[in-house]
Structure 1
């Protein structure tokens, strides 16, 4: 067994949930682009995203979701609802979830003044400087309005470009685990052609997650078999068995790293 695999057995998993906040997502007016980005980013640094939720701009629902998720996972990453308008209520909801006060933060005001002229810092823009008591600010080099972190909850903007730079800034502060490695076997066959044998292979390799994902290309059916594990040796053994399985079913399988 590899050293990293041994470590993976000894260390608890670092887990996360993503909470997307906003009526515009639920109505379909805005298409979410944050969940997938955050999940891929966190997976690469050894944090397992276990759940994603979308809630409306309703304080009670935000509070309930934050409290449920922060009790269940190592981290909760929220996006949306920290702008200057009346329906940007995420900061207030987070303060309520943690039972702390909220007010205008001088540090956040100073950040906003790097981008906004003092005479343009109206009441609406000052809303973006309202931060729950005890929270640490997350730098936003694009528009300067900060995100914040309180406890295990990381609160970020909904605009993808701003969320991404906030995530870059907060990531070095996070506890991370051993990243998951994945490999893919591309099979030119239908899922049903290999499902039974693939299930047996999965039973023989419990340290490896094996998933099958059908696709169609140029009018032909195919299946991507994706193997994921923190144990490189176990992954290689499972990969070799699955590749051999596909070779028996399909004359010329194509396998590649992913």
Structure 2
């Protein structure tokens, strides 16, 4: 078994609009794909309402449990955008108007002939000690504090911010995968799959039943950072299936 501990992450999605169903989340899948590509395991996702206590509790729990936490939502100009307040509360630091963020937004709005009013100025409040995350779409920055990266909820903006975040993350060995069509039902392959999983603990094995239009069958997906172990496990599984 490999001694290498995988880098782990969680995602915190913030917003009443997600929980009510008015807005369909498009950020979880994007973050999951991005982290998988660079070898970081996304192990938990939480969705919480725009409630201070809920956000604070989730940030404290997730930041203590995982290497990184990625948040989306709640850093806009309206009264219910309280993510910055909650992050500051969670880490016990002041929330202040940040001169770096102020300069970025002032230049952005002046260049478009838009007034820098109090609502827009609200987006320059950053917890003390945080680094800014670039926002090439609408300028208002996200921020990173400790192991938490705080980004917008609008998918186009969050995805642009994630481009900046990825540059700050460590390179790890990404997961590689192999898919095997079992050609039979899940109940028929369960014992063989269990036996192979026990032999290859560094290879994750998933069983996904589906109907192919004619019958119920099973797709088996093997994932590992160890290419040799993956190949050996796939060969062993194919042999076990052929013997059924």
Tell me if structure 2 keeps the 8 A contact 1:114–1:144: no
Equivalent of residue 222 in structure 2, options 204, 214, 227? 227
Per-residue CA deviations over 1:73-97 (Å, capped at 9, x if unaligned) read 1111011000111100000000111
Which of 46, 61, 70 is the equivalent residue of 1:53? 46
What corresponds to 2:128 in structure 1? Answer: 133
How far did 1:217 drift? Answer: 2.8
Q: In structure 2, how many angstroms separate the alpha carbons of the residues matched to 1:191 and 1:73?
A: 33
1:38 aligned to which of 7, 16, 31: 31
Equivalent residues of 1:140, 1:166 under 8 A apart = yes
1:213 and 2:205 correspond: no
User: Displacement, 1:188?
Assistant: 2.7
Cα deviation, 1:89-129, whole Å, max 9, x if unaligned, reads 00000011111111111211222234323652111111111
Aligned to 1:159: 154
Tell me which of 123, 132, 139 is aligned to 1:144. Answer: 139
Pick aligned residue for 2:69 from 63, 69, 76 = 76
Aligned positions of 1:243-258 closer than 5 A = 243-249=238-244
Question: CA deviation digits over 1:185-226, x for unaligned, max 9?
Answer: 123322112111111111111111111011223243221101
148-157 vs 188-197, which moves further: 188-197
SS in 2 for 1:30: coil
Could you list the structure 1 runs, at least 4 aligned residues long, displaced by more than 4 angstroms after superposition.
none
Q: Distance in 1 between matches of 2:109 and 2:243?
A: 65
Q: Is the 8 A contact 1:63 1:94 kept in 2?
A: yes
Q: In terms of mean alpha carbon deviation, does 49-58 or 28-37 score higher? A: 28-37
In the alignment, structure 1 residue 20 sits paired with structure 2 residue 46:
no
Partner of 1:195: 190
- What do the CA deviations read for 1:37-85 (whole angstroms, capped 9, x no partner)? 1112111111111111111100011001101111111111011000111
Q: Relative contact order, CA 8 A, sep 6+: which one is greater?
A: 1
SS of structure 2 residue aligned to 1:140: coil
Q: Tell me how far apart the structure 1 counterparts of residues 211 and 158 of structure 2 sit (CA, whole Å).
A: 33
TM norm structure 1: 0.89
What CA distance in whole angstroms lies between the structure 2 residues aligned with 1:36 and 1:187? 27
Q: Which runs of 5+ in 1 are unaligned?
A: 250-258
How many matched pairs? 242
Q: Secondary structure at the match of 1:19?
A: strand
- The answer on whether the counterparts of 1:14 and 1:176 sit within 8 Å (CA) in structure 2 is no
